[in-house]
Chains A and B, each alone.
Chain A
């Protein structure tokens, strides 16, 4: 779904302050929903289908990426009818490998991190070049990082312009903007960064790189979902959300779905508008599904492929 670029420049003072206590209370309430039996099974399938199966390690090799691509399409073949993941997420040099492994008509998208991931310390030319190359190599989606140093020193114009420039460099590829909320210090900053990213043309906003210990949390994600909602009310455009890092248990993933449903509504409950950035979540979900399929036997990680 193509999105018309916002023609107005964003007034940074407009970002509303965030009620931290209110957010914490609201966030805690999402975790009290009881989701059982067939609803749980449907939720788990949905979670699988929203995962960006990720490998972002210094030790990645082409074979590791090939294996990841295979796993994305064959999550656990002994249970028939499982969905594929939404995408695989790799470093730019592996986009070609992934494209070759998946073929050109795969339903599984290829997401590539870019712009000097994870620190973002790269010249603007370097960032644009990296982005263009990833897209030329076959990336469907680009996950960029914002310049947190510039943001924290108040240079919002720079951050806005940089996102807009990368968006342009993406061409047809969808742009996910990583805010790295663990470095933004306050929820007010998270809200402002979300607003800047969406006004600069982000197709998705994403919490974290997964490279620092404070990654996606329910309160941070809620603040970002509320920003998406306000932006939707104002401009009519939909923006996707991708929490990443630290979501490794099925139960937590279901809490996130509850939050999306209750904050943005059912339109966002598809992998076009909501993703999980995760590497170990898929196996935990598979274990839960296998438990349901087996009639309730608790499972062991030994029986599920690690990569």
Chain B
């Protein structure tokens, strides 16, 4: 007798837990050969609201953490991804990739995790500056996370694109809410299972699945989101989110490059603020003093 196959329900990832959508809605995207991929939650604005609360709550834990510790945790993510290679490759194939492309994408994804793990405790030293001023001050500019970042992952690169969007954000001490690819959401939720077991505190990364068109305006108008990072948007969509986000002067970052291959420390800086500090000193060296 034939077995009845079970179609997995892929749930959301909010605050370190795996809830279903508050709305009870789901959709069933089709993969290779028209085969149903799974039951995927169609997030509502309230799921988004909960994710922002979670991300805001986690910020006080994640941002002040030692950079080296963030680095260790991102590296651990790479290790956990490595351990689940087979599952990720299998899901990418279900979502339409060839075997070779799937293997390549998983490898790229793991490399991205290791790459940004390395940068966590280095971008400050490389990009911060001591500025020359003419008064008796040390004057230095350092990077600080902008806060809660929302990210719209690319539509076609389900795993590497998602990580290329996500990793520079959390490497810099931000917390985030990611909207996964609508058509290829499996990798995102499996990634959530990796995150949940890789020492990343709950709430630092929250993953939603669902309809971009529905959620974009909510992302843009939410007053407690500090920055919005997006890929693959149309010109009209970009104009709309820029307009809708003026109320709290959200920083909008539109990736033009292919984020799935984005090994670039400048990507971290896109969701950083610069803090410049004037620290008085008794006399300046320029003025002939010594200290």
A296 to B247 CA separation, bound complex (whole angstroms): 13
Contact between B49 and A298 (Cβ–Cβ < 8 Å)? yes
A2 within 8 A of B: no
Q: In A258-307, which residues have CB < 8 Å from any B CB?
A: 294, 296-303
- Report the interface size for chain B: residues with CB under 8 A from the other chain: 11
Residues of A within 8 Å of B49, CB to CB, are 298
B99 to chain A, nearest CB (A): 43
Number of A-B contacts (CB under 8 A): 26
Please, which residue of chain A has its CB at the minimum distance from the CB of B53?
A: A298
A299 to B49 CA separation, bound complex (whole angstroms): 10
Contact between B247 and A301 (Cβ–Cβ < 8 Å)? no
Residues of B within 8 Å of A298, CB to CB, are 45, 48-49, 52, 218, 221-224
B248 within 8 A of A: yes
Residues of B within 8 Å of A296, CB to CB, are 221
Task: Tell me the interface secondary structure of chain B in the complex.
Answer: helix
B205 to chain A, nearest CB (A): 20
Q: In B236-285, which residues have CB < 8 Å from any A CB?
A: 247-248
Contact between B224 and A300 (Cβ–Cβ < 8 Å)? yes
Residues of A within 8 Å of B52, CB to CB, are 298
The 0/1 profile, CB within 8 Å of A marked 1, for residues 36-71 of chain B is 000000000100110010000000000000000000
Contact between B222 and A301 (Cβ–Cβ < 8 Å)? no
Residues of B within 8 Å of A297, CB to CB, are 221-223, 247
Task: Tell me the interface secondary structure of chain A in the complex.
Answer: loop
A284 to chain B, nearest CB (A): 12
Residues of A within 8 Å of B223, CB to CB, are 297-300, 302-303
Question: For A294, A296, A297, A298, which residue has the most chain B Cβ atoms within 10 angstroms?
Answer: A298
Residues of B within 8 Å of A301, CB to CB, are 224
Residues of B within 8 Å of A303, CB to CB, are 223, 248
Residues of A within 8 Å of B221, CB to CB, are 296-298
Residues of A within 8 Å of B224, CB to CB, are 298-302
The 0/1 profile, CB within 8 Å of A marked 1, for residues 184-221 of chain B is 00000000000000000000000000000000001001
A303 to B45 CA separation, bound complex (whole angstroms): 21
Please, which residue of chain A has its CB at the minimum distance from the CB of B49?
A: A298
B51 to chain A, nearest CB (A): 11
Residues of B within 8 Å of A294, CB to CB, are 247
A307 to B52 CA separation, bound complex (whole angstroms): 23
Residues of A within 8 Å of B48, CB to CB, are 298
Please, which residue of chain B has its CB at the minimum distance from the CB of A298?
A: B222
The 0/1 profile, CB within 8 Å of A marked 1, for residues 220-232 of chain B is 0111100000000
Residues of B within 8 Å of A300, CB to CB, are 222-224, 248
A230 to chain B, nearest CB (A): 39
A257 to chain B, nearest CB (A): 22
A28 to B224 CA separation, bound complex (whole angstroms): 31
B218 to chain A, nearest CB (A): 7
Residues of B within 8 Å of A299, CB to CB, are 223-224
Please, which residue of chain A has its CB at the minimum distance from the CB of B222?
A: A298
A294 to B248 CA separation, bound complex (whole angstroms): 13
The 0/1 profile, CB within 8 Å of B marked 1, for residues 71-111 of chain A is 00000000000000000000000000000000000000000
Contacts A294-B247, A298-B45, A300-B222 supplied; 8 other A-B pairs, CB < 8 Å: A297-B222, A297-B223, A298-B48, A298-B222, A298-B224, A302-B223, A302-B224, A303-B248
19 contacts between A and B (CB under 8 A): A294-B247, A296-B221, A297-B221, A297-B223, A297-B247, A298-B45, A298-B48, A298-B218, A298-B221, A298-B222, A298-B223, A298-B224, A299-B223, A300-B224, A300-B248, A301-B224, A302-B224, A303-B223, A303-B248
List residues of chain A with CB under 8 Å of any chain B CB. Answer: 294, 296-303
Interchain residue pairs A-B with the least CB separation, the first 6? A300-B224, A300-B223, A297-B221, A298-B222, A299-B223, A298-B49
